[in-house]
Chain A
Amino acid sequence: MTVFTVFFIIFLLTLLVITALAIVQTKNLFAAAMLSGIFSLLSAMVFFLLDAADVALTEAAVGAGISTVLFLGALALTAEHERAGTAGRLAALGVVTVIAALLVYATFDMPRLGDPNAPAQLHVAPWYLEKTPEYIDVPNVVTAVLASFRGYDTLGETFVVFTAGIGVLFLLGKAPVGQPKVSPAMTFAGKAGLRHYQIPRVVGRLLIPFILLFALYVQFHGDFSPGGGFQAGVIVAASVVLYALLEGEEQARLALPAGLLKLMIAAGPLLYGLTGVACMLLGGNFLDYSALAHDPVHGQHYGILIIEAGVGITVTGVLISIFHSFAARGAK
């Protein structure tokens, strides 16, 4: 790391603290949602400077992209301004201060940033770096760890996304009672979308195929470069959200009907889990992709390809469904 990089990281972290304080003190929820998007983007930049490109891509796509849109979707159903301040703010401040002090205390004996002799670099990490070419043979070691060595964690995380989707569909799936208020800042989910604004429409419609193409690249090139199912799913969902903004909610629903989305939400986790079961039936352990083909390395390739597809399908289906759930309530 050059001195310049270190200074730049410190600069970004300072901005991060300022953004966090601004989020806490603002009473305007629209501003808070936007600031949290900025917060995520800053984090993503820091991750990238620390050479964690996969994490940076995920943070940028999820934190700065889709979650900001979902915040705004939720805002469209409530008011734009926070009402009376919540009670116990001082107590909360005290607790947060104590925890911050503890975390600072915990950093005193920690290994230096980028120290090659840090414990985290000496134990399992070298094994992953050394064995990945032999056992899995994909250039991106992060993908190897995520999809195979610790594939069971990723299965769990896929089901976390699935659970979130079920939760939103369950709670917001009912027809809303009465007329929800639509805040002036967020009429994005109107029936007509931005249909009367020619420039955004023309430019936006040009962008959508490229966004989808990039999503497919991120999905299938994840073994070689940063990316994978999570990021690709978010990018596909973002393109659908953009389409809904330009053409209106109704059009987006026609393109991807609710039944198909539900099928995607269920099919993704099933694809992942049943791959694991198939490995068991073929004589391996659960999620041991080596059993999928005669050559264990080929088996690993197939396994990673299938489960990444499962992750991508899950994330796409869940995020679009969540967006529709919010937007449908706002469009009245």
Chain B
Amino acid sequence: MSSEAYHLAVLQVVVPLLSAPLIILLRPRGLAWAAATAASAMAFAVAVMLTAGVLSGIEYRYAVGGWPAPYGIEIRVDALTSVALLVVSGASLLALFAGRRSLDGDIDEARQPLFYGAWMLALAGLCGIVVSADAFNIFVFMEVSSLASYVLIAAGPNRRALAATFKYLVMGTIGATFYLIGVGLIYMMTGTLNLADMAQRISEVADQRPILAAGGFIIVGLALKAAVLPLHAWLPNAYTYAPHIVTVFLAACATKVQIYVMLRFDFLVFQGNLTDHDLQFSRFLMPLALLAIVLASGVAMMERNLKRLLAYSSVAQIGYIMLGTSLLSAAGLSAGIIHIFNHALAKGALFLAVAGLGMHYQGLRLDQLAGAAKRMPWTMAAFVLAGLSLIGLPGTAGFVSKWLLISAALAEGSLGIVLVAVVLLGSLMAVVYVWRVVEAAYFRAPQQAVADQREAPPMLLAATWAAVLANIYFGLQPGLPVQLSQAAAASLLQSLP
């Protein structure tokens, strides 16, 4: 491989990371936004190139500082990594491209450079977590991305954003601290921080108490950061009160990256070495996943605020991802991983449409949306199509992951029937909560007559439709995500005996 291709893996982090301090110095109007969008576009281009490399069979391994692992820090990119990188950098690019007008309304001009700097740090932190092959380095970038996300959420126009941020900050810090305690315990018993090296050295001490405690701390800490029910309490308000465009970005990727770390850590380090860990992992996560699907969808059916409705739907969708991974089979894992990608597409498109609605409807309560379809026909049409993808209608991306999940569950025998029943129930509940929005926007008479059409800004509308069309394209042509997720599942399972 050429030297440029060799450095790609580290550039994925370095480009957004170093753009942050440059952006906070930019004074003139709109320049910070333009620079952030350009840096995001570069990050996305790097992710696409890395994915192309992974598809052609390269596994990127990069020794930062030139020091060989385990003495130095290693960066790795494989199929699972590239799925996560595409989701993170794609979500950031789409949200920024769409969001200039919407963010201008939320954040005063003097503070915009700081805001876009924080956005770049969130992007760099998430990318840094994903490409890192070192347990402590993951924690460092977790800190960068978390702190930056708190800033982004606190930028919300409503004062309640601050309270939501504080709750998220406390919960997120607890999650990260649990993860760090676990890493510390493992370091104490193995003397290494490199994940691959850890996997080899942990087998000698696998039955000792510090390792067992570390497993618990790491899984629970990451589950808290990934908003696995019942540890999701921070998520709904954080998504609701953040600026709409920030919600697009974070809803598409923030929790998914934590799930990625959980999978990477658990399958590489714990599954192959700890006795009965697979059973414990499965029994711990499967009930929680089923609960998440049913309870969170139920709350979404009752919810009056559009953004909080979609946030609870996100908690339910995390349940689907967790359900797939808790099956521990290649089919189940690939269904979970592809849903990371497909749910990001559907939720990204939905929240982009919400950002469009938010330009004209302040509170985004369902009862205020009466007549929205007349006023913003294109935005609402996009919302409906993205909603169909969320439900999982054939021909959309959401259908592909549901289909794979159901076929993976059916392979499990009689338990599978129950799982499939819950998945179908969850889909029906999704029909209900998406329909409530559609009914409010299409079939309710507005309070006062709305004559004029006031569409969302063109760039926002274009981005929304790009996301919707991607949902349909990957629903009809699911080859690429399916191939990547199957390769990712295979690489996760190869470390197992």
A positions within 8 Å CB-CB of B? 102-103, 105-111, 118-125, 127-128, 131, 148-153, 155-157, 159-160, 162-164, 166-167, 169-171, 173-174, 262-263, 265-270, 273-274, 276-277, 280, 284-290
Known contacts A286-B10, A287-B64; A150 and B72 CB within 8 A of each other: yes
A270 in contact with B18 (CB, 8 Å): yes
User: What is the bound-complex CA distance between A160 and B208, given in angstroms?
Assistant: 34
A selection of 9 A-B contacts at a CB cut-off of 8 Å is A109-B205, A123-B192, A150-B73, A160-B147, A167-B147, A170-B154, A173-B114, A285-B7, A285-B63
Chain B hits for A273, CB < 8 A? 14, 17-18, 21
B210 in contact with A109 (CB, 8 Å): yes
Sample of 15 further A-B pairs with CB below 8 A, known A106-B209, A108-B209: A110-B189, A119-B189, A119-B191, A120-B187, A124-B71, A150-B136, A155-B17, A156-B144, A157-B140, A160-B143, A162-B21, A163-B118, A266-B21, A280-B10, A285-B10
How far is the CB of A39 from the nearest CB of chain B, in Å?
A: 16
User: What is the bound-complex CA distance between A124 and B10, given in angstroms?
Assistant: 23
Give the one of A160, A262, A280 with max B CB within 10 A: A160
B24 in contact with A119 (CB, 8 Å): no
B positions within 8 Å CB-CB of A? 7, 10, 14, 17-18, 20-22, 24-25, 62-67, 70-73, 108, 110-111, 114-115, 117-118, 121, 124, 128, 136-137, 140-141, 143-144, 147-148, 150-151, 154-155, 162, 181, 185, 187-192, 201, 205, 208-210, 212-214, 216-217
Chain A hits for B124, CB < 8 A? 159
User: What is the bound-complex CA distance between A171 and B165, given in angstroms?
Assistant: 12
A-B contacts, CB under 8 A, total: 181
Give the nearest-CB partner of A280 in chain B: B7
| 9 nearest CB pairs, A to B | A123-B191, A288-B66, A106-B213, A156-B140, A266-B21, A109-B208, A119-B191, A152-B64, A167-B151
Which of A103, A120, A290 lies in contact with B213, CB distance below 8 A? A103
Which of B148, B212, B214 lies in contact with A163, CB distance below 8 A? B148
User: What is the bound-complex CA distance between A276 and B62, given in angstroms?
Assistant: 14
Chain B hits for A277, CB < 8 A? 14, 18
B216 in contact with A286 (CB, 8 Å): no
How far is the CB of B157 from the nearest CB of chain A, in Å?
A: 13
How far is the CB of A274 from the nearest CB of chain B, in Å?
A: 7
B65 in contact with A152 (CB, 8 Å): yes
Which of B150, B201, B209 lies in contact with A109, CB distance below 8 A? B209
Chain B hits for A118, CB < 8 A? 188, 191
User: What is the bound-complex CA distance between A290 and B216, given in angstroms?
Assistant: 41
B137 in contact with A163 (CB, 8 Å): no
How far is the CB of A272 from the nearest CB of chain B, in Å?
A: 9
Give the nearest-CB partner of A284 in chain B: B66
* A interface: dominant SS: helix
Chain B hits for A110, CB < 8 A? 188-189, 209-210
Chain B hits for A128, CB < 8 A? 71
Chain A hits for B151, CB < 8 A? 163, 166-167, 170-171
How far is the CB of A305 from the nearest CB of chain B, in Å?
A: 16
Chain A hits for B205, CB < 8 A? 109, 119
A170 in contact with B65 (CB, 8 Å): no
A120 in contact with B188 (CB, 8 Å): yes
A170 in contact with B140 (CB, 8 Å): no
A160 in contact with B188 (CB, 8 Å): no
B181 in contact with A103 (CB, 8 Å): yes
B14 in contact with A276 (CB, 8 Å): yes
Give the nearest-CB partner of B154 in chain A: A171
Known contacts A105-B209, A124-B191; A266 and B73 CB within 8 A of each other: no
User: What is the bound-complex CA distance between A290 and B67, given in angstroms?
Assistant: 11
B65 in contact with A166 (CB, 8 Å): no
User: What is the bound-complex CA distance between A287 and B64, given in angstroms?
Assistant: 6
B25 in contact with A170 (CB, 8 Å): no
B70 in contact with A123 (CB, 8 Å): yes
B214 in contact with A106 (CB, 8 Å): yes
User: What is the bound-complex CA distance between A119 and B210, given in angstroms?
Assistant: 13
